[in-house]
Amino acid sequence: MRPSAKFWDRIAARYARSPVADEAAYREKLRITQGYLRPGMEVLEFGCGTGSTALEHAPFVKHILATDISAQMLRIAEAKAREKSVGNVTFRQAVLEEIPRPAEGFDAILGLSILHLVAHRDAAIADAYRLLKPGGVFVSSTACLGDWLRIFRLIGPIGRALGLLPLVRVFTARELEDSMTRAGFVIERRWLPRRRAALFLVARRPG
């Protein structure tokens, strides 16, 4: 098991009980995303956590494959799906690079609160591009700590060594957007709800 998976397994129950930090911003991100969703779509969400966002979007699409590295997070997600009687979301333990591309590609990919938690941001973004069909959209929300908490480059590894934090990468919004455009994406929407908030991007793979 990867070290980060152990961390997320350990905190899964507490994570599930935690309220959304900014409910208004979260609801606006759902609204914007759903404007890009259509009933026939096949959607991938990687880093789905306990599944709340996938379940919110499920009524708007054909099917969602929601993946995470944490088995405990996924158990909670599956319980939520049963409770809500949602049948068009499949939860699977997987990392992004292991996911095979469907014959026609996914219509949309969601990577929410995850790109700062992967070891190689550029590789993850390239995988999202690979998995999307031409014209598909990649929706992300990312903590760009390099814009306001650069000291985390020093304290983050200490917290990780003590088992208090997962792997967290520090980069700026500009660096993230440059990664997107280098991969071939065209950024269609950029929203920063407030300073020190996650940067919300909708990027399209040209069709």
Amino acid found at 171: F
User: Quick one: which of 4, 1, 196 has its CA closest to 118?
Assistant: 4
What span, in angstroms and rounded, lies between the C-alpha atoms of 42 and 207? 17
The confidence band for 3, taking pLDDT boundaries of 50, 70 and 90, is low
Contact 109, 43 (CB under 8 A): yes
Who has greater pLDDT, 149 or 9? 9
- What residues contact 75, with CB distance under 8 A and at least 6 apart? 12
Percentage of residues of the chain with pLDDT beyond 70: 98
What is the DSSP secondary structure assignment for residue 109, as one 8-state letter?
E
Residue 118 has pLDDT above 90, yes or no: yes
What pLDDT does residue 150 have?
76
Residue 198 has pLDDT above 80, yes or no: yes
For the chain, where are the alpha helices, taking DSSP H only? 3-17, 23-34, 52-57, 71-84, 121-131, 152-161, 173-183
Handedness of CA 128, 200, 48, 30 (dihedral sign): negative
Residue 54 has pLDDT above 70, yes or no: yes
pTM: 0.94
3-state helix, strand, coil in the chain (%, to 5): 45, 20, 35
What span, in angstroms and rounded, lies between the C-alpha atoms of 72 and 49? 9
What the chain holds in terms of domains, given with CATH numbers, is 3-204 (3.40.50.150)
* Tens-digit pLDDT profile for residues 180-190: 999 999 999 99
What span, in angstroms and rounded, lies between the C-alpha atoms of 112 and 199? 10
* Tens-digit pLDDT profile for residues 62-104: 999 999 999 999 999 999 999 999 999 999 999 999 999 999 9
By CB atoms closer than 10 A (0-12, 13-18, 19+), residue 207 is: exposed
What span, in angstroms and rounded, lies between the C-alpha atoms of 46 and 66? 6
N-to-C CA span, the chain: 38
Residue 105 gets the label, from left (phi > 0), alpha (psi -120 to 50) or beta, of left
Residue 1 has pLDDT above 60, yes or no: no
- What residues contact 2, with CB distance under 8 A and at least 6 apart? 69
